[in-house]
Amino acid sequence: SVYVDTSVYLNLWKKETSHTGVPFWKIAEKFFHRVEHQGLLLFFSGFVLKELSAVAPDAYASKRHMFDDGIRFVRISVTENDY
């Protein structure tokens, strides 16, 4: 199981590449494929959702439903002890 940071989703959704041409989006695509193939859980937080909706609102709107999966995607909550 893994916690996936906002940047990984953005790499894929925005097809981002580095300034030297490294295709970050292909790396992210391969990562998600491997996670799915291995049946791992993907953890996310409300912070990730907030960032995605602010930085990539159109992509987020069309893909928001995947976080409601409940089978592969698991939401974690931040508590006062976490900060």
Q: pLDDT per residue over 4-16, tens digit each?
A: 999 999 999 999 9
Residue 69: the pLDDT is: 79
Q: Is the pTM of this model over 0.85?
A: yes
- Cα 41 to its chain centre, rounded Å, is 12
Q: What is the pLDDT of residue 13?
A: 96
Give pLDDT tens digits for 56-78.
Answer: 999 999 999 999 977 789 999 88
End-to-end CA distance of the chain: 22
Q: Which residues pair with 76 in a beta bridge?
A: 45
Is 11 exposed, middle or buried, given 0-12, 13-18 or 19+ CB atoms closer than 10 A? buried
